[in-house]
Amino acid sequence: MSAVCTDTPLAQPATRDWLSPLELTLLAAIWGASFMFQRVAAPEFGTAALAEIRLALGAIILLPFLWRERRRFPAGIWPTLAMIGVINSAVPFALFAYAAQHAPAGIGAITNAMAVLFTALFAVLMFGEKIGWKRGLALFVGFAGVVVLASAKTAGASIGAAVVAGTSAAVLYGIGANLVRRHLMGLPPIAVAAATLSFASLSVLPFALWFWPTHTVSMPAVGAAIALGVLCTGIAYALYYRLIARIGAPRAVTVTYLVPLFAVAWAWLLLNEPPTIPMAIAAALILGSVAFSQKAGK
């Protein structure tokens, strides 16, 4: 999940309440599956190649939206879009691909949820917004969850490096969300996503070509990589912005709470990666802090 452009003037009251919860659940299931697909594909493709496949396929799915809205983009905005693409997509996708090679799928999903807290933190640092003691407490509790997760072991192996990678990706999502808010407000969000994914793909391409796997990649890994790009990036982004336009960003972002639950469930059912006690504790701390920070901001 990315933190691209969740503030949008297109937000409207929900008109089909029965459909919105269904789409939120579907989106959470898709984004939860993304961590499972990375777990399958990353060991065979490697970090850069998998990130490139995901970015390129996601961009291809969304490019029609950018083409349709291209006249709304000022000529001078493209360098900013390129910079945000690197910060908000290229590096985070690579970091999650790295994490998937060193820890169960649920680990990346749990750290990803920290993006909401880091968005609030960087709103203070970049915009001078007041965070308040409640959100400050939420950040502290969320970081405690990361510490619990980083200190855990799975099958006797440390997962600290994967936790650091996932948390770093969440930090970049927090920065990216605030850059979007500062520089790209008023532009069509789904077209912005298409542009940033495209630039991110171009930035990763040289590394992907250099580190492209020389061995034969299995069909399950190929299928997982394609699903990651087409379903979990391109189609999921389109669904996310459809939700934002209809029910508003504050309601759409609640998908954050469900993604780790689906990620752990998919990994348990299909990859035989059962949740551990430290994962459960960390998830409770992080997701609880995210929920509390959202409530505190209202």
**pLDDT tens-digit map of 239-285:** 988 888 777 766 777 788 888 989 999 999 999 998 888 888 888 88
* Inside any domain, residue 12: no
Residues paired with residue 141 on neighbouring β-strands, in sequence order: none
Full residue range of the structural domain in which residue 57 is found = 19-296
* Inside any domain, residue 3: no
Q: Residue 156 contacts by C-beta under 8 Å, 6 or more apart in sequence? A: none
Q: Residue 147 contacts by C-beta under 8 Å, 6 or more apart in sequence? A: none
* Inside any domain, residue 276: yes
* Inside any domain, residue 281: yes
User: Residue 189 and residue 6: Cα distance in Å, rounded?
Assistant: 8
- Determine the average pLDDT of the residues in 173-177: 91
* Inside any domain, residue 50: yes
Q: What is the pTM of this model?
A: 0.88
* Inside any domain, residue 13: no
Which tokens go with 49? 């190649």
Residue 115 CB-half CA count within 13 A: 31
Total structural domains within the chain? 1
* Inside any domain, residue 292: yes
* Inside any domain, residue 11: no
Among 1-10, 77-86, 165-174, 205-214, which stretch is predicted with the lowest mean pLDDT?
1-10
User: Mean pLDDT, the chain, as a whole number?
Assistant: 87
